[in-house]
Amino acid sequence: MILQKIKEFSKRYLPAEIVGTITAICAASITHVFSDNPVFIAYIATFGEAIGFFSTILIQHIFTFSKKRKAANKQFSLLDFPKIISHILLEFGPAEIIDGLVLRPFFMYLFPLLIKKFILGILLGKIAGDITFYLIVIVSYEMKKKLKF
């Protein structure tokens, strides 16, 4: 059961995590070239990660929804986007508000200062943010599945 859930969550979230990690580190590194303000860098890294993560999630949802429409002999259209967006908001919205505005920027600010290695600190801050983020996301996802939304 646990191994099955790990596989399910990995398939669902790992591609977005990989892209999000790359965009977070790139955003932080580029910003660090132009600014020494650790709060600013932390928020830009958080924003960069969100762009990479949620663009990947959106693409995954489009593919999944498109396959379902095709299986039902229906065509995917732009009118399907509100439903896709509502699925994403239901699953990630509560976690992203807490994580994106407070926790992740705090961790991405704190870890580089504590360990004195910028990239490693950003990565560790991202991982700390991921832990709190997924505690909420997994609950939202499981509730969404139970409600068959």
Tell me the pLDDT of the chain (149 aa) as tens digits: 889 989 999 999 999 999 999 999 999 999 999 999 999 999 999 999 999 999 999 999 999 999 988 998 999 888 889 999 999 999 999 999 999 999 999 999 999 999 999 999 999 999 999 999 999 999 999 998 888 76
Q: State which H helix or E strand residue 86 sits in.
A: helix 81-98
Ordered DSSP codes for 20-52: HHHHHHHHHHHHHHH---HHHHHHHHHHHHHHH
The model carries a pTM of: 0.91
Using the structure block, give the residue that is written with the tokens 């991921």: 130
* Domain hosting residue 6, numbered range: 2-146
Domain count, the chain: 1
